[in-house]
Copies of this chain bind each other. A is one copy, B any other.
């Protein structure tokens, strides 16, 4: 049922007729179609005719290797990523991605992207990130025995700074504007493999969203059908695009007959994908206002998200921090403590106010431990309290 990777080439999202060999991963975006203003990403193409549809009969569980035929080669060992539960909460289906090895969805991407680093023979991995992505990349690099450099900024929460440092990576806290130039130097001079973005609009790692595809495969198994809509917290839209691609593959392979509408759930303080769609552009860059949803607070968007929204008939939905806080609290009061950014799916579903003819899935990307307000409250000690004080 499993088997080797059937990945055959990289293909440009700027012009799907343009292909490139699978190796090396083109970490600078499509060299043929990108311009000075818009960088086009690449995706991975497979020998789909050789996929055994029985692949989708297997139970949901940890380790992406179960989907190996439809992933790039997995050279990096697993930490048991994926196989996360789907829970009915607050009237929707919530995919609890906090149940991954480093407690966010990023582990799916990093199993694949660090595998690319190993496969490319890189001496190390470099990533620019203030949180989940950096820690996850560090964990997978550690598991694979590769050194890692994480370029982070000082504004991430204290607990998250401990998290990023825990896995033994070299962590450099630098001003935000200096992160990308420094990453470029580390790539060019040390030969480290970048697992975050290097281009003017976001392209990221060409293999990265392939890891997120597995969420679509799992949802199809867990629901027994294709959902009508998927709401994804959206920063650079790698998650949104990856999940969308997974559903298109299920349809292409004849396993499913439909695909969901995809919703990019962006903080109202920014929203580059909302802007790009509104202005009918391939990608956009926006001013970013203040928001506590730091995990999805991105001024720079990319073409992947625009493609997922257009091709699926979905929309970008902007949500305020107030709406995020309310959704986060409602999830917590039903037993799920998610990061503020992770509540964007439920918040956007509510704001959209649209009903769907089928299951609605909200992706909850990460754990509540990673928020800015964690650990801020000091407990007041009550002495001599009795039950009467509780009445």
Interface residues of A, Cβ cutoff 8 Å to B: 59-63, 78-80, 83, 85-87, 96, 98-103, 139-140, 142-143, 149, 152, 154, 157-159, 161-163, 165-168, 170-175, 178, 182, 185-186, 189-190, 329, 332-337, 367-369, 373-387, 390
Contact = CB atoms under 8 A, between A and B. Distances in A.
Given A61-B59, A390-B186, A168 B332 contact: yes
Contacts of A367: 103, 369
A167 B80 contact: no
A368 B163 contact: yes
A149 B390 contact: yes
Given A85-B80, A376-B158, A335 B383 contact: no
Contacts of A162: 368, 373-377
Nearest to A78: B87
Contacts of A376: 158, 162
A165 B376 CA distance: 12
Nearest to A389: B172
B186 A387 contact: yes
Contact of A390 (B85, B152, B190): B190
A170 B378 contact: no
B174 A385 contact: yes
| Most chain B CB atoms below 10 A, which of A83, A142, A162, A172 | A162
5 contacts: A78-B87, A83-B85, A162-B376, A167-B337, A168-B332
Q: What 4 pairs between A and B have smallest CB-CB spacing?
A: A80-B85, A158-B375, A143-B335, A173-B379
Contact of A379 (B154, B168, B190, B378): B154
Number of copies: 2
A101 B336 contact: yes
A152 B379 CA distance: 10
Given A79-B336, A335-B140, A175 B381 contact: yes
A170 B62 contact: no
A387 B103 contact: no
Nearest to A81: B85
B335 A79 contact: yes
Contacts of A154: 379, 381
Contact of A167 (B83, B159, B333, B385): B333
Contact of A80 (B63, B96, B170): B96
Contacts of A375: 157-159, 161-162, 375
A194 to B, nearest CB: 13
Given A103-B103, A154-B381, A367-B369, 19 more contacts: A59-B59, A102-B337, A103-B367, A152-B379, A159-B159, A159-B369, A159-B375, A161-B375, A161-B378, A162-B376, A167-B332, A167-B333, A173-B379, A173-B380, A178-B383, A182-B387, A189-B387, A190-B387, A369-B369
A232 B223 CA distance: 36
B96 A87 contact: no
Contact of A85 (B62, B158, B172, B377): B62
A211 to B, nearest CB: 16
A178 B384 contact: yes
A292 to B, nearest CB: 14
Contacts of A382: 172-174
B369 A163 contact: yes
A50 to B, nearest CB: 26
